[in-house]
Amino acid sequence: MACQGLAKGETTNTLKAESESLKAKLEEERAKLHDVELHQVAEKIDALGQFVMKTRRTLKGHGNKVLCMDWCRDKRRIVSSSQDGKVIVWDAYTTNKEHAVTMPCTWVMACAYAPSGCAVACGGLDNKCSVYPLSLDKNENLAAKKKSVAMHTNYLSSCSFTNSDMQILTSSGDGTCALWDVESGQLLQSFHGHSADVLSLDLAPSETGNTFVSGGCDKKANVWDMRSGQNVQSFETHESDINNVKYYPSGDAFATGSDDATCRLYDLRADREVAIYSKDSIIFGASSVDFSLSGRLLFAGYNDYTINVWDVLKGTRVAILFGHENRVSTVRVSPDGTAFCSGSWDNTLRIWA
């Protein structure tokens, strides 16, 4: 189709107009199915009571902005990466540093823990994703065992292991996402469909799930099939860059955080946006979002140094958490749901519970 020339009487302008009218028709059909708002359905549900969350631990050790963090499945260890080029593995309970790696570049924007807990992946302005195996020997030189897995043509913005240590999914400022084999470094599948930098990705939660969602500077959130490489769903209602995407625990919906100062919830089965989390008093962008284990709460980190906690069903804000002294760059709930960790440009990470 793309290779064929223009038919008689066709110009790029007429084709553009045709695609716009088709888009409008699609929106009309979508709107016909839209009978009720999420917060209306949730009216009968009891409101959440007061809950107190405090900083229980503060992790200090990075010399510059903390850009990314991830929990290990053991519910205890954390990996974090920073603008100073350091990647640190922490014991969140004792706040001890267990491993530290200095990357060859600054701005390490992505880091991820392997499902087995035996390796971490990271990358950033070096356009690469590197995997470091972790060992129990504290004195071992991790850098010597580094494996370069992924190569992009622009910065690495996010990375995530699939359900095994053997494959890794990356997103990049080159506008693509890609699936790589960790052992060989081979590209298994690439995902083209964003028209600008891809800033975030998240894998569907089920063990069998073969989909993931990505968000980027083109204001779009795209859902992909990992096996075919096809973009299966696309949502474009944000008014600015989408900084972060996160699946709802059931896998039937996902949330986004954006520079337009809103977070939004998209339902995959209804194929539409079902909720907006915003207030007139919130004017700074949301950099990171994550759900509580039940899916009832949405934690969102903002560029005004706060973390807002939203009631997902009712669309109301139930708490606002202060503590960081610069913008919050990452928020992640622990695998057992008992706490969450936030990373900030104030060089620290905080564990809240």
Tens-digit pLDDT profile for residues 152-209? 999 999 999 999 999 999 999 999 999 999 999 999 999 999 999 999 999 999 877 7
Could you tell me what percent of the chain has a pLDDT over 90?
A: 84
Q: Would you call 44 helix, strand, or coil by DSSP? A: helix
pLDDT higher at 7 or 203: 203
Determine the pLDDT at residue 3. 52
pTM of the model: 0.92
Is pLDDT of 1 > 60? Answer: no
Determine the pLDDT at residue 4. 64
pLDDT higher at 66 or 207: 66
> Would you give the distance in Å from CA 17 to the centre of its chain?
34
Q: How confident is the model at residue 42 (pLDDT cuts 50, 70, 90)?
A: very high
Choose among 259, 237, 236, 256: nearest CA to 246: 256
Helices (H), ranges, the chain: 12-32, 38-41
Give the least confident one: 47-56, 77-86, 121-130, 269-278.
Answer: 47-56
Phi, psi torsion values for 229, nearest 5 degrees: 80, 5
Pairing state between β 147-151 and 128-133: antiparallel
**pLDDT tens per residue, range 100-151:** 999 999 999 999 999 999 999 999 999 999 999 998 776 777 788 899 999 9
For the chain, how many helices (H) and strands (E)? 2, 28
Are 230 and 256 spatial neighbours (Cβ–Cβ below 8 Å)? Answer: no
Residue range 1-29: mean pLDDT, rounded: 81
Is pLDDT of 93 > 70? Answer: yes
Determine the pLDDT at residue 336. 96
Residue range 9-36: mean pLDDT, rounded: 86
Determine the pLDDT at residue 251. 95
